[in-house]
Amino acid sequence: MLIPHIAIISLLATTALAQTGSTPSPAPPATAFESPGRVEAKMFLPEDLMKGALHSVAPEAENDGLLNTYFVYSGNNAFEVTTGLALRIRIRELYAIDKLRGTSKTEEFTKALKAAGKQKVESVAGLVRDPVGTLKRVPEGASRFFGRIGEGLKGKSDEESNAVQGLTGVQKAKVALAAKLGVSPYSTNQELQEQLTNVARAMAGGGLVVNAALMPIGAVNTVLNMNQTLQQTLVTTTPEDLRELNRKKLLGLGVSHENADEFLMHPWYSPWHETIITDALATIGVDPTRFLERACRALTEADANYFQRLAQILARYHKTKTPLSSIGLENDRVVAMDSNGTLVIPLSCDYAIWSEFAAARVEAFSQLPQSRSEIKGLALWVDGKVSERATQELKNRKIDLATDVLAKQ
């Protein structure tokens, strides 16, 4: 299965999807720029991610100036994955699918699925099989404002009410099972969705007890970079209640009902995406309207992951460096201002090099303090790595750089 290539916005790159703006003017003449090309995968990945019982990653990845595309082999299959985050998610899903397949072949599973009853399984199939699509279709078909799914279906027949009850049970089992496996219950990986749903049905309707040692519960924390409290909220709260909690938080930050609902009903943001982003924005505590406007231009799951990382980077800066006083746009890119007057540019990438385009983008930002008296300095916070050449060029322009910022607890 191919993971979509992320369309990324940033200080160093233009965006095709989220923050479309004018192309920066060419950089002033300079010495030779760095060129995209092959990089050693082990520079960016831990040893256990490079090779495991079910997979191996090619020694070299292809870098485009910001993002790495990794080449993965599993059995007779080979596929490409762009960004380290997507790679971690895809590999974890490989192992989760293998675990679920093994569970579905056991005698206990067969008995539990039989006990669940064929009619009950069929009644919830349309609601559970496509969690992202289902949750988006309900509010679109009923109203712009989204409440509990039970409330949205009041007055329906007994058969439909039973379907909703079945959904709740299977849904809860599916979320809990996904957490044990360290994957998202809202993944767009269809094979994973089918396997999760089958086992969740046997758990919810047939009493199947799944070994709690499938995978450490904290594994999802490692991939998505969140604290235990937030993780517990994701696992124990229904998607409907998550959206209601997120809506209240966003409105409390000054976001309009229209902007909040546009974000919460966006087709590429799962309840987990929305909750992690909202939690990060609430941590900062300033009006995130401009951030959400850009986030709502996402066209792929990879874009949703990217904006999630941007929000987490800004929250990390706010908590560990200097409090942020505002979130806005400069040069049509998401930025934030801290209480000392430093303009903070968040960037999510694998490996940023000093390309000609990067030089032009940096030059545009480096001019801001000269024309804007309120900007006292510039800081670039990156969740990946930056080449030595790019690091030196940023230093020459008095732009503070911090890398691997989400790896630092």
Say if CB 2 and CB 356 are below 8 A apart. Answer: no
> Phi, psi at residue 379, to the nearest 5°?
-140, 135
Burial group, residue 293, by CB count within 10 angstroms (0-12, 13-18, 19+): middle
Total residues belonging to the chain = 409
What pLDDT is attached to residue 148?
35
More confident call, 108 vs 87: 87
Q: Which of 74-83, 110-119, 227-236 has the highest mean pLDDT?
A: 74-83
Burial group, residue 408, by CB count within 10 angstroms (0-12, 13-18, 19+): exposed
Say if CB 378 and CB 398 are below 8 A apart. Answer: yes
Q: Is the dihedral of CA 32, 34, 35, 39 positive or negative?
A: positive
pLDDT-above-70 percentage for the chain: 75
> Phi, psi at residue 247, to the nearest 5°?
-60, -45
Non-local CB neighbours of 388 within 8 Å, separated by 6+ positions: none
Instruction: Report the alpha-carbon distance of residue 399 to residue 47 in Å, rounded.
Output: 33
Q: Is the pLDDT of residue 352 over 50?
A: yes
Dig out the tokens for 128 from the structure: 């559970």
pLDDT tens track for 278-297: 999 999 999 999 999 999 99
Q: Which amino acid is at 84?
A: G
Say if CB 108 and CB 208 are below 8 A apart. Answer: yes
Q: Is the pLDDT of residue 140 over 50?
A: no
The pLDDT of 48-72, averaged and rounded, is: 95
Say if CB 12 and CB 348 are below 8 A apart. Answer: no
What pLDDT is attached to residue 250?
98
Q: Work out the mean pLDDT of the chain and round it to a whole number.
A: 80
> Which of 386, 399, 320, 397 has the alpha carbon at shortest distance from 349?
386
Split at pLDDT 50, 70, 90, the class of 20 is: very low
The pLDDT of 97-126, averaged and rounded, is: 73
Q: Is the dihedral of CA 287, 290, 292, 293 positive or negative?
A: positive
Dig out the tokens for 311 from the structure: 């929000």
What pLDDT is attached to residue 240?
86
Collapsing DSSP to helix, strand or coil, 78 comes out as: strand
The pLDDT of 7-21, averaged and rounded, is: 40
Split at pLDDT 50, 70, 90, the class of 122 is: very low
Look up the pTM and report it: 0.80
Report strand pairing: 351-352 vs 333-338: unpaired
Dig out the tokens for 185 from the structure: 């219950």
Is the backbone of residue 154 left (phi > 0), alpha (psi -120 to 50) or beta? beta
Burial group, residue 46, by CB count within 10 angstroms (0-12, 13-18, 19+): exposed
